[in-house]
Amino acid sequence: MVLLELVNIYKYYGKITALEDINLEVGKGELLTILGPSGSGKSTLLKIIGGFEEPSRGKIYINGKLMNGVPPYARPTSMVFQDLALFPHLNVFNNIAYGLKIKKAPSNEIKKKVREVAELLHIEELLDRRVTQLSGGQQQRVALARSLILEPEILLLDEPLGPLDVKLRKEMQLELRRIQKRLNSTWIYVTHDHEEAMVMSDRVAILNSGRIIDVGVVKEIYEKPKNRFIAEFLGEVNIIECIVDHVEGSAFTASSGDLRIEGLTAGKLEKGDRVNILVRPEKIGITVTPLNDRKNSVSGKVVEIIYKGAYSDVKIETEDSRVFIARTFEPAYRVGERVFLKWDREDAVVIKE
């Protein structure tokens, strides 16, 4: 069931085009991530959904009702701001209770609901504190509680975990996801961090320079990116530019200098086509023993080992000066060592230029 529908949304700030022809549908109970680099228009899009900005053109529907011109307080949405905007003159309890007090809910109902949402977010002990006395993570939870207590049809979150340190951010990501599933509510979550987007979302919309360049299930977009920008934006990727030699059904061979590549494609290819072959670092195997099969494989010297905690990225330079990155969980290699790389043809993504 479609809850939110954006149709041909444009937003101009003077000469700046912040959003261009945005079309998007969000279903009930879904967590949609809007992923894009800084300045791509993510916040602007959220503000338009929440009613803080009017689109220059286009229509917004929530539950089939036209929302253009409807003020924020009359929309069934609630926003967790990028800077949280907790009211500094109110304590935690009154921050959370604010929306219900405005609605003139009876005080015992307010108390009950505040307690419930505080339990959900593990902040029962903080209710008497001033918001200025809380840590970043605690403020985060209060901001979330303040919105969730109103049970909005759509919760809008603008890079809410931005200021937190990495460890806390990872914990909060999982917890937010858990809460969203438990409440079965609809969330639109903005982030510029592709790893966060993968953890958080059912679907992801990728925004670049004010345009949605792809929408879909995050795993599919990651594994079958439509173009180079998306592939590179979603993390480290090896790209080989080559020319198709031979096509047979869905299989093809291509070459790039000395390199022989085998691949599979769903689309149409012809001999002589220029294509980009994309291989993720984690899909590349490393070995020190020479390989018999010369297809989909390269050899080179290790030039750098980038330690990333659970895994390491090994940077390899070939004799014809190509650079490859392969991911390994056992960093048993030394800089300067000669290694061999190999990948399966199923793991390479083909993008026509």
Partner 1 sequence: MSLIKLFLKIFTSTVILLLIYLPIALVILFSFNDSIYFIFPFKNFTFKWYERLLEDPLFLKSIINSIIIALAVSAGSLSIGIPASFAFVRLRRNTLYVGFIMIPFIMPWLVIGVSSLVFFHTLGIPLSILTTVLSHIIYSIPLVVLIVAARLISLNPNYEKASMDLGANEVQTFTYVTFPLIYPAISVSALITFLWSFDNFIITFFTIGSEITFPIWVWGSLRHPTNVPVITAASSIVILVGSLIVYLMETYRVKKGIGIYAII
Ligand X SMILES: Nc1ncnc2c1ncn2[C@@H]1O[C@H](COP(=O)(O)OP(=O)(O)O)[C@@H](O)[C@H]1O
Interface positions with ligand X (CB under 6 A): 13, 16, 18, 36, 38-44
Neighbour tally for 329: CB within 10 Å: 8
* Binding test (CB under 8 A) with partner 1, winner from 64, 69, 71, 309: 71
Supply the minimum distance, in Å, between the C-beta of residue 332 and partner 1: 51
Supply the minimum distance, in Å, between the C-beta of residue 215 and ligand X: 16
Interface segment toward partner 1; rule CB under 8 A; list 1-9, 20-28, 84-92, 319-327: 84-92
* Binding test (CB under 8 A) with partner 1, winner from 44, 78, 173, 297: 78
> Of these partners, ligand X, partner 1, Mg ion, none, which one is at the site of residue 191 (CB under 5 to 8 Å by kind)?
none
Two structure tokens written together for 66 = 């036209």
CB 66 within 8 A of CB 224: no
Rule CB under 5 A: say whether 43 interacts with Mg ion. Answer: yes
CB 63 within 8 A of CB 91: no
Two structure tokens written together for 312 = 């390491």
> Of these partners, Mg ion, ligand X, partner 1, none, which one is at the site of residue 38 (CB under 5 to 8 Å by kind)?
ligand X
**Would you say 45 or 142 has its CB closer to ligand X?**
45
Supply the minimum distance, in Å, between the C-beta of residue 201 and ligand X: 16
Supply the minimum distance, in Å, between the C-beta of residue 158 and Mg ion: 6
Phi-psi region of 41 (alpha: psi -120 to 50; beta: other; left: phi over 0): left
Nearest Cα neighbor of 156 from 251, 264, 33, 9 is: 33
* Binding test (CB under 8 A) with partner 1, winner from 1, 15, 38, 89: 89
* Binding test (CB under 8 A) with partner 1, winner from 102, 217, 303, 335: 102
Task: In whole angstroms, give the CA distance from residue 147 to residue 123.
Answer: 14
Cβ neighbours for 302, distance < 8 A, ≥ 6 positions apart:
314, 315, 316, 333, 334, 335, 336, 337, 338, 339
Buried b (16+ CB within 10 A) or exposed e, 185-199: bbbbbbbbbbebbbb
Rule CB under 8 A: say whether 103 interacts with partner 1. Answer: yes
The number of CA neighbours under 13 Å toward the Cβ of 107 is 1
**Would you say 83 or 171 has its CB closer to partner 1?**
83
**Would you say 22 or 348 has its CB closer to Mg ion?**
22
Supply the minimum distance, in Å, between the C-beta of residue 9 and ligand X: 12
Cβ neighbours for 316, distance < 8 A, ≥ 6 positions apart:
298, 300, 301, 302, 303, 323, 324, 325, 326, 339, 341
Supply the minimum distance, in Å, between the C-beta of residue 146 and partner 1: 7
Task: In whole angstroms, give the CA distance from residue 216 to residue 188.
Answer: 14
Supply the minimum distance, in Å, between the C-beta of residue 19 and ligand X: 8
* Binding test (CB under 8 A) with partner 1, winner from 18, 32, 33, 81: 81
Task: In whole angstroms, give the CA distance from residue 317 to residue 158.
Answer: 40
Residues near partner 1 (CB under 8 A): 50, 52, 71-73, 77-79, 81, 83, 85-89, 98-99, 102-103, 146-147, 150
